[in-house]
Amino acid sequence: DTEVTQTPKHLVMGMTNKKSLKCEQHMGHRAMYWYKQKAKKPPELMFVYSYEKLSINESVPSRFSPECPNSSLLNLHLHALQPEDSALYLCASSQVISSSGNTIYFGEGSWLTVV
């Protein structure tokens, strides 16, 4: 079972709203990722958690706040977003983050529209 589950699938929010995207995996993976994908573009890495600790933050604005409550869950808290933040947000996981070619598995994504 190589499944990463993301909720909600679609989210429309105003620029003053606070919302969260959720991600869950039950593969025993200890590395979890958030990627952002704009239309017709490749995914861009935002954050990486390794053993529930934030390991990589790719200079993402503070209006995006990640959280890893436990080894199976990853959240992305959204606050005061801009219309240009509208995109597909992809969660992913892999066994570990070490440099041994671990395969990264992606969820179906959450489509975010900021109005």
Give the dihedral sign, CA 78/33/60/56.
positive
Nearer to other proteins, 40 or 83 (CB): 40
Which residues 41-70 are close enough to bind other proteins by CB under 8 A? Answer: 41-43, 45, 48, 55-56
Other Cβ atoms less than 10 A from the Cβ of 75: the count is 17
CB of 97 to other proteins, least distance (A): 5
CB of 1 to other proteins, least distance (A): 14
CB of 90 to other proteins, least distance (A): 6
Nearer to other proteins, 35 or 64 (CB): 35
Nearer to other proteins, 34 or 64 (CB): 34
Q: How far apart are CA 12 and CA 81, in angstroms?
A: 11
Of the candidates 24, 104, 9, 111, the one whose C-alpha atom is nearest the C-alpha of residue 69 is: 24
Amino acid (1-letter code) at residue 92? A
Q: How far apart are CA 114 and CA 14, in angstroms?
A: 6
Which residues 68-87 are close enough to bind other proteins by CB under 8 A? Answer: none
Positions touching other proteins (CB under 8 A) are 2, 6, 31, 33, 40-43, 45, 48, 55-56, 88, 90, 94, 96-109
